[in-house]
């Protein structure tokens, strides 16, 4: 986007911006099909069956995020089972805002790490328990047991 080619009055200022593009008829093997892109471009590839869709989706070897739009629960679960992506969304976008989940992408996507979410605490924490005897005596492993003599005459006021 430039001053000579704005979009809805936005010319990009001093930044580097591109108009969104949808490319229809993308085929397996096309560069747009085989490369993971992070930009305002999407390729559209036709398929006939769920199995063909899964084969096409897994072909490039990337596995960051995926989504399916369906009203059929069987399709949603078959998609989840067959897709190689680390995130699977049903009827919503793949925003990447799932910071509470252990996620790092699969295949050639992401960084291969699972260092996010509450589970990361276990990766960087060394748990340790400590007990402290203030008696000033050397204790046996099971701790000494004192003989307690009850005061049978004691009463709460």
The strand pairing partners of 66, in sequence order, are 88
* Per-residue pLDDT at 85: 86
pLDDT tens, position by position, 93-141: 766 556 556 566 677 776 556 566 666 677 677 777 777 767 777 666 6
* Count of positions (residues) in the chain: 157
Can you give the pTM of this predicted structure? 0.62
Cα–Cα distance for residue pair 131/134, rounded to 1 Å: 10
Map tokens 């680390």 to a residue.
Answer: 86
CB count, 10 Å around CB of 42? 13
* Per-residue pLDDT at 65: 82
* Angle formed at CA 101 by CA 83 and CA 35, multiple of 5 degrees: 40
Categorize the per-residue pLDDT at 39 as very low, low, confident or very high, splitting at 50, 70 and 90. confident
pLDDT tens, position by position, 59-94: 999 888 889 999 999 999 999 999 988 888 899 876
* Per-residue pLDDT at 43: 95
Tokens (6 digits) for 39: 């930009």
């Amino acid at each position: 986007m430039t001053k000579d080619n704005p979009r809805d009055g936005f010319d990009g200022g001093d930044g580097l911006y591109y108009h969104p593009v949808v490319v229809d008829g993308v085929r397996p093997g096309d560069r747009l099909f085989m490369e993971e892109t992070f930009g305002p471009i999407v390729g559209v590839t036709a398929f006939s069956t769920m199995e063909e869709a899964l084969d096409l989706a897994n072909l490039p070897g990337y596995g960051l995020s995926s989504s399916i739009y369906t009203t059929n629960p069987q399709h949603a679960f078959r998609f989840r089972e067959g897709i190689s992506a680390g995130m699977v969304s049903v009827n919503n976008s793949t925003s990447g805002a799932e910071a509470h989940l252990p996620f790092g992408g699969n295949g050639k996507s992401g960084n291969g790490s699972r260092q996010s979410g509450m589970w990361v605490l276990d990766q960087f924490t060394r748990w340790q328990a400590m007990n402290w005897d203030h008696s000033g005596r050397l204790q046996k492993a099971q701790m000494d047991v004192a003989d307690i003599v009850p005061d049978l005459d004691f009463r709460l006021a």
